[in-house]
Amino acid sequence: MIHQTLSGPLLKQAGIPTDEDVRTINSLKNPPPAPVSEKDIFVRRCRLAGDAIDAYHGRFRTEELSKLLAMVQGAPMLIGHNKRSLGVARFFGGSIEEHEGTHYIVPGFYWLRGHSSSDDLRVAIDGGLYCEASISFAYEKPTCSVCGEDIRTCEHLPGSLVDGQKEPVFYYYDNVVAVLEGSLVYRGAQPGTGFSLSDSRIGSFAPGTPANAFAIEGEEGAAVLQSILRIKRHGKWYRAPLVEEE
Ligand SMILES: [Zn+2]
């Protein structure tokens, strides 16, 4: 099982909750014990994971997006991945939408007006303090775009060019098993991709994550891919980061 975190922008339209929003929220698998009405909630939307190649050289298969959207339903949203805090909002509903040639899951999220800090959250979102939503998910297999094997063990390097391939090597997030949590985050979206690295990813990565997909923060704040040396010895692959000598 591999853990991955991706994020995408909050969408600007400050939505007025519709009847359908209210119906969807009240019929979540784990619905609010006291049904909500449109007067009880704030609703916003965010563009989450899509089927373009992201900063980690991973991508979702287009046909998997509806499954991912279903997994997001009812998931709580935290602030900045702080698991010790209570969720402030929940994902609900949404659709798969095309944006600049890429398909994205675009769920809504709601929070309660009656909560003592609900206006603080609304101001922070609408004022751009939190400008992204992010999800952590678990999946089983990073499938290589060239050979179809697990990219952690095949000979292809994510982001590298291979003869006869139109685009650099990437991998699919296959067998997504769960969406672990969602968060509101304040990092800027990475230009061109709509995804960004979350804080927790910088300087560390979960065991099992393809090491050569490990991205670090560049000098100008852009995400760059760390160079990795891979060596095969006695039938097993080994990796080491490249460190420039003075
Ligand atoms: Zn491969």
- Report the 10 Å Cβ neighbour count for 95: 13
232 CA to middle of ligand 1, Å?
14
192 CA to middle of ligand 1, Å?
25
SS3 of 213, please? Answer: helix
Long-range CB contacts (within 8 A, 24+) of 196-202: 196/7, 196/55, 196/132, 196/223, 197/55, 197/223, 198/5, 198/7, 198/81, 198/134, 199/80, 199/81, 200/5, 200/81, 201/5
* Tens of pLDDT, residues 173-220: 999 999 988 888 876 433 322 222 232 232 223 333 343 333 333 333
What domain range includes position 7? 2-241
Is 178 inside any structural domain?
yes
Is 135 inside any structural domain?
yes
Contacts of 219 (CB under 8 A, 6+ apart): none
Number of domains the chain is built from: 1
Residues 23-38 as b/e (b if ≥16 CB within 10 A, e otherwise) read ebbeeeeeeeeeebee
Q: Give the predicted TM-score (pTM) of the model.
A: 0.73
The neighbourhood of ligand 1, an ion, using CB within 5 A, equals 144, 146-147, 154, 156
Is 246 inside any structural domain?
no
Is 212 inside any structural domain?
yes
- d(CA 48, CA 135) in angstroms, rounded, equals 8
Note whether 77 and 133 are within 8 A (CB). yes
161 CA to middle of ligand 1, Å?
12
Q: How confident is the model at residue 127 (pLDDT cuts 50, 70, 90)?
A: confident
241 CA to middle of ligand 1, Å?
20
Would you say residue 239 has pLDDT above 80?
A: no
- d(CA 141, CA 131) in angstroms, rounded, equals 30
- d(CA 15, CA 27) in angstroms, rounded, equals 20
Is 90 inside any structural domain?
yes
